[in-house]
Chains A and B, each alone.
Chain A
Amino acid sequence: AQKITQTQPGMFVQEKEAVTLDCTYDTSDPSYGLFWYKQPSSGEMIFLIYQGSYDQQNATEGRYSLNFQKARKSANLVISASQLGDSAMYFCAMREGHGQNFVFGPGTRLSVLP
């Protein structure tokens, strides 16, 4: 079973508009962490935002915010005021409990249109 699901293979957004990238996860561990990474064409994975399973408030980092709905096992990334430089692949990932590894979703390719 897929532990991380990203149902949007590709998304388009107009520059300066907001966009939501979907992520659902599956775990029975009460302690876990959720991460979003951006991967431009250079290949490097760039950390964007983190949400812990016990965090009461949704995480925010600048133009990035995470819409965390624990009961629905959903951790959507919201990018406000999109910029052309936001065009990239975006990956949702989860680390369970004290596990050493991150499990990544298949990614969403975001294209920002001028």
Chain B
Amino acid sequence: DAGVTQSPTHLIKTRGQQVTLRCSPKSGHDTVSWYQQALGQGPQFIFQYYEEEERQRGNFPDRFSGHQFPNYSSELNVNALWLGDSALYLCASSYRAPPGELFFGEGSRLTVL
């Protein structure tokens, strides 16, 4: 049973560029949440997708956007990257919303130079 998978695992971008991160939820899950984890901190909620719609959003600017596809997979897009966007981006899946237990992937580590 495949867990949550994320790609890419590591990437390096320069300021001003755009990035797309991808997530496939655990089998049977229909809800995807994205979290940003800066070095030495706990994860912070970006947004959640359920039934292809953004259900709730954390305190992140509009540069952060997302999408959920009919197969429940999801993308996180970040435009106009700046140094402070360097972090581990974690995808978590659950069944239905509000979520019970969250299942996390191993994350995509983004470095912005």
Binding site for B on A (CB under 8 A): 4, 33, 35, 37, 42-47, 50, 91, 93, 95, 98-107
Contacts and interface: CB of A to CB of B under 8 A. Distances in A.
19 contacts: A4-B42, A35-B102, A37-B104, A43-B90, A44-B104, A44-B105, A45-B43, A45-B102, A45-B104, A47-B101, A50-B100, A91-B42, A99-B98, A100-B98, A100-B99, A102-B43, A102-B45, A104-B43, A106-B41
Interface string B20-53: 0000000000000101000011111100100000
Contact of A101 (B58, B88, B90, B105): B58
B48 A101 contact: yes
Contacts of B33: 100-102
Contacts of B92: 45
B45 A101 contact: yes
Contacts of B11: none
Interface residues of B, number: 27
9 smallest beta-carbon distances between A and B, as pairs: A104-B42, A101-B45, A100-B56, A45-B104, A43-B107, A44-B106, A100-B48, A43-B106, A104-B43
Interface string B54-67: 01101000000000
B16 to A, nearest CB: 26
Nearest to B102: A102
B101 A106 contact: no
Given A43-B107, A104-B43, 20 more contacts: A33-B100, A43-B90, A44-B106, A45-B90, A45-B92, A45-B104, A50-B100, A91-B43, A99-B98, A100-B33, A100-B55, A100-B97, A101-B48, A101-B58, A102-B35, A102-B43, A102-B45, A103-B45, A107-B41, A107-B42
